[in-house]
Amino acid sequence: MKPVRAFRMLAAAAMLAAAAMLPAAAMLAAAVTPLAAQQLDPIPTFAPGGNAVLLPVQSVKPLPTGAWPGGVRSHGQARKTVTAELTFAFQEAEEGSSTWALPPEIIDVMDRNPILHVDPEHLAYQSLLDKPKNLRRYQVYEPLHGQLRAIAAMFDTRHVALPLAVWYEPYVPPDLMGEDGGAESDREAESAGGREDPAAAEGDSAASEETLGRAVLLLTLIDIRRSEVLWHGEVRGDPAPIDSSALFATLAERVAAWLVLY
């Protein structure tokens, strides 16, 4: 065997061995940007080759000022905006989206079946805002269990993705963080003995107008037939201005890339 050919065969074997050792989280990271991939736990087996339902967003938290992120004006508008972005992102996914029943269809079907008394936009989700201490032993209780079973039955599925809450969190780039986790500007202010520099204050004011943040979604994946919470955690979008529609758009893209394309 020629040396060059032997070298190529050894290199190929090494690459295959390395790929086999990659964890599932590394495969997921290839589908999303590194920033958000670091925030996601490995996904469990969820609706493999079957149907699943993506429910409407249940709640959005206001900013400390009482205003709403993403340039919306009310809680209802915020919920509908994030839900619409999720719907669009799933529809735009390259593959797998046909297995998902999306919020507009779910709302329409449940509206045409009022005898079930289930409003997909206002479910009894509050008990899931805190992560269960032991997912394997946690059971979804009434009335949420009955609501989700009714919806799942209409779409012949057992798998439910329930977006619980969305909120805004400030984003500080890693290169601007101090060794103790504080921003460099805070450390510099302390070293200056608290003296205020008018020029610096003006610069800080201008910078605050361009402060970036991320939309965070608290999401849970449920096997309602077994009343089992398969996954419960947070998904983050990309940094964007506080009043930008990109806050919700990038969050929706992240969820679709994770759930539809994983």
Asked if the structure places residue 161 within a domain, the reply is yes
How large a percentage of the chain has pLDDT more than 90? 53
Is-contact 221 132, C-beta < 8 A?
no
In the predicted structure, residue 29 carries a pLDDT above the cut 90 = no
With tokens 């946690």, the residue in question is 138
| Contact partners, residue 108, CB within 8 Å, separation at least 6 | none
| Contact partners, residue 55, CB within 8 Å, separation at least 6 | 103, 106, 120, 123, 151, 160, 161, 162, 163
Structure tokens at 228: 């089992």
**d(C-alpha 113, C-alpha 99), whole Å:** 22
Is-contact 243 80, C-beta < 8 A?
no
Asked if the structure places residue 245 within a domain, the reply is yes
The average pLDDT across 59-83 equals 95
Best-predicted range by mean pLDDT (41-50, 148-157, 179-188, 192-201):
148-157
Asked if the structure places residue 166 within a domain, the reply is yes
Asked if the structure places residue 194 within a domain, the reply is no
Domain span including residue 148: 50-173+212-259
Asked if the structure places residue 225 within a domain, the reply is yes
Q: How confident is the model at residue 192 (pLDDT cuts 50, 70, 90)?
A: very low
Helix ranges, 113-165 (H): 144-154
Which has more pLDDT, 166 or 181? 166
Which has more pLDDT, 35 or 130? 130
Helix ranges, the chain (H): 3-21, 24-29, 34-37, 75-92, 103-111, 144-154, 184-191, 198-208, 246-259
Strands (DSSP E) contained in 107-241 are 159-170, 212-223, 228-236, 240-241
Q: Could you give the 3-state DSSP secondary structure of residue 183?
A: strand
pLDDT digits (tens, 9 = 90+) for 172-188: 777 655 555 555 544 44
- DSSP letter (8 states) at residue 126: G
In the predicted structure, residue 226 carries a pLDDT above the cut 70 = yes
The pLDDT value recorded for residue 236 is 94
H/E element, 186: helix 184-191
Whether pTM > 0.75 for this model: the answer is no
Asked if the structure places residue 32 within a domain, the reply is no
The average pLDDT across 224-248 equals 93
Structure tokens at 38: 């670091």
Structure tokens at 99: 């297995």
The pLDDT value recorded for residue 215 is 97
Structure tokens at 37: 């991939």
Burial 27-40 (b: 16+ CB within 10 A, else e): ebbeebeebbbeeb
CATH number of the domain bearing residue 154: 3.40.50
Asked if the structure places residue 180 within a domain, the reply is no
In the predicted structure, residue 21 carries a pLDDT above the cut 50 = no
Give the number of domains in the chain. Answer: 1
Is-contact 145 36, C-beta < 8 A?
no
Asked if the structure places residue 9 within a domain, the reply is no
